[in-house]
């Protein structure tokens, strides 16, 4: 799919690695001016060195006021990709500490609300139409073991998309979620190479029988950011190779 983001300006959070990095790179290749945010400066430095039109912002999204201060200095944007997140699969539900739950919610949910508020307010004031995409998960509708805070955060993030879509629609700002299953990022490849076969959980339920490659979630994100989706808002877009739609993969 061919995209043209010439003259557009988009912020991507969690852009140091994985999905966020791939989205930032593709946007840059499509002519977009991209702001990338991560708390790891070295990851952002290598991204800026390798790509044109990319500006880095080092920030910890769990620090609400610090993030707000830095993002309010940005020019008016045309789009935002709330991608930052952590897995949150360390404790059984009956043992999950309150502090850990709040850590995951701060990273996966509250940061997206904060960034959306800041970016959207500037867009409204400048009367700029645009798009916000929240990177959610199939974990928003289906549970995995030891995933209480993660699944809470992603289910809530889908509702955040709907709420913002309702209230920002009159200003010409669309808001959607993308809900991928497991994506073959460098981190996931490393986990599998260590003999931890998280991929088998997904592929055993997917009729396509493999994990997503990075471009297979990057393209849906760019579609939702682009003018190709001008009447799409308030939706959760599942990209999972049929994982959620099957009781069995055997015909």
Distance separating alpha carbons of residues 138 and 240, to the nearest angstrom: 8
Q: For the beta carbon of residue 74, count every other beta carbon within 10 angstroms.
A: 15
Q: Which residues, 6+ apart, have CB-to-CB distance to 56 below 8 Å?
A: 35, 36, 37, 38, 41, 44, 45, 47, 48
Query: Of residues 9, 26, 33, 150, which has the active-site annotation?
Result: 150
Distance separating alpha carbons of residues 91 and 141, to the nearest angstrom: 19
Contact 224, 131 (CB under 8 A): yes
Query: Of residues 8, 26, 154, 223, which has the active-site annotation?
Result: 154
Query: Which single residue is written with the structure tokens 């995409």?
Result: 133
**Is 154 labeled as catalytic in the residue annotation?**
yes
Distance separating alpha carbons of residues 203 and 93, to the nearest angstrom: 25
**Is 100 labeled as catalytic in the residue annotation?**
no
Q: Which residues, 6+ apart, have CB-to-CB distance to 114 below 8 Å?
A: 61, 64, 67, 68
Catalytic residues: 150, 154
């Amino acid at each position: 799919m061919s995209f043209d983001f010439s003259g557009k300006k988009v912020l991507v959070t969690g852009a140091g690695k994985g999905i966020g990095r791939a989205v930032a790179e593709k946007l840059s290749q499509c002519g977009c001016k991209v702001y990338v945010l991560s708390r790891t400066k070295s990851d952002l430095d290598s991204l800026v060195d390798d790509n044109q039109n990319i500006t880095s912002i080092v920030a910890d999204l769990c620090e609400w006021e610090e993030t707000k201060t830095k993002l309010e200095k940005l020019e008016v944007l045309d789009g935002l990709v709330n991608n930052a997140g952590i897995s949150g699969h360390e404790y059984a539900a009956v043992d999950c500490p309150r502090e850990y739950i709040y850590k995951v919610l701060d990273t996966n949910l509250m940061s997206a609300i904060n960034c959306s508020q800041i970016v959207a307010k500037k867009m409204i004031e400048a009367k700029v139409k645009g798009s916000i995409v929240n990177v959610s998960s199939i974990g928003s509708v289906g549970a995995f073991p030891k995933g209480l805070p993660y699944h809470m955060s992603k289910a809530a993030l889908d509702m955040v998309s709907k709420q913002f879509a309702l209230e920002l629609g009159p200003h010409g700002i669309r808001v959607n979620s993308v809900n991928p299953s497991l994506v073959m990022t460098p981190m996931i490849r490393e986990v599998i190479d260590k003999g931890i076969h998280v991929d088998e959980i997904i592929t055993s339920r997917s009729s396509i029988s493999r994990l997503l490659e990075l471009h297979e979630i990057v393209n849906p994100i760019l579609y939702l950011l682009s003018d190709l989706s001008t009447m799409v808002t308030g939706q959760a877009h599942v990209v999972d190779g049929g994982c959620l739609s099957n009781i069995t993969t055997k015909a």
